[in-house]
Amino acid sequence: MSATCRIVFPLYAGVTQLDFTAPHQFFNRMPGAETVVASVGGAEVEADGLVFSRLADLTAIDSCDVLCVPGGFGTTAAMLDEAYMAAIRRLGASARYVTSVCTGSLILAAAGLLKGRRAACHWAWRDLLPLFDVGVDESRVCRDGNVITGGGVTAGLDFALVAGAEIFGEDAARRVQLGLEYAPAPPFDGGRPELAPPHILAQVRTVMDAAVADRRAAALEAAARLKARASAA
């Protein structure tokens, strides 16, 4: 890899900001890293009440060393956005590392970049991965060759260290971890469904279930488009 490592974060409307701001913070401090945050046309992107502007035009980026796709409730529409998905396919095809956080793996899968691989995803949506011939991995961070995927949202922190150690070296990753004082000690041991109290799990599932039908429909449509593209190739 060259002295400079270009890492592209392709944003879209409805992205979860921590999915990309967490790994961006870590990667941005790695030696030789060039982090690029982009969107189709360089348009502003609203995420969780924050507005990200002055973005690069995703369609104009010719290549990257690392493609890092974040997740979010906007994944549903992003999977069916042809301009966005064309950029994901193009950049992912030549990237040395294809990566994601949370439901970003569904976008990579819909782009045909994970076929036959295993990937992590947010626990509420990982059952959609097999629609794209992708194996489900329940780990917080999954590594399958040059594909590195993180589970839900905060897994982006651990993902950044795993990917950072692979790309920039373990010492560099450890220095960034110490510099950012990443020493997690949550007050509640309930960040996974099997650990959460039943009533908390039920409440969170109620929120997630509101989007289940639309996201499954989008995933099925994206899977059909992927199959049609493969048949036409």
> Does the pLDDT at position 2 exceed 70?
no
Asked if residues 111 and 101 have their Cβ atoms less than 8 Å apart, the reply is no
Which domains does the chain show, CATH number per domain?
A: 5-232 (3.40.50.880)
Say what angle helices 155-168 and 170-179 make with each other, to 10 degrees. 140
Tokens found for residue 183: 């020493």
pLDDT of residue 1: 46
pLDDT digits (tens, 9 = 90+) for 145-155: 999 999 999 99
Segment 121-129 mean pLDDT: 97
What count of residues does the chain have? 233
**Residue 119 vs residues 37, 140, 180: alpha-carbon distances, Å:** 23, 10, 27
Rounded distance between C-alpha atoms, residue 224 and residue 222, angstroms: 5
Residue 40 is classified by DSSP as G
Residue 5 appears among annotated catalytic residues = no
- Which residues, other chains included, contact 229 with Cβ-Cβ below 8 Å and sequence gap of 6+? 112
Tokens found for residue 100: 């994601």
Closest CA to 66 of 137, 157, 135, 160: 160
pLDDT digits (tens, 9 = 90+) for 45-102: 999 999 999 999 999 999 999 999 999 999 999 999 999 999 999 999 999 999 999 9
Which of 64, 68, 102, 142 does the annotation list as catalytic? 102
Closest CA to 101 of 166, 156, 144: 156
Relative to beta strand 141-144, strand 135-136 is unpaired
Q: Tell me how many degrees the CA angle 36-90-72 measures, rounded to the nearest 5.
A: 60
Which residues share a beta bridge with 107? Answer: none
Segment 133-140 mean pLDDT: 98
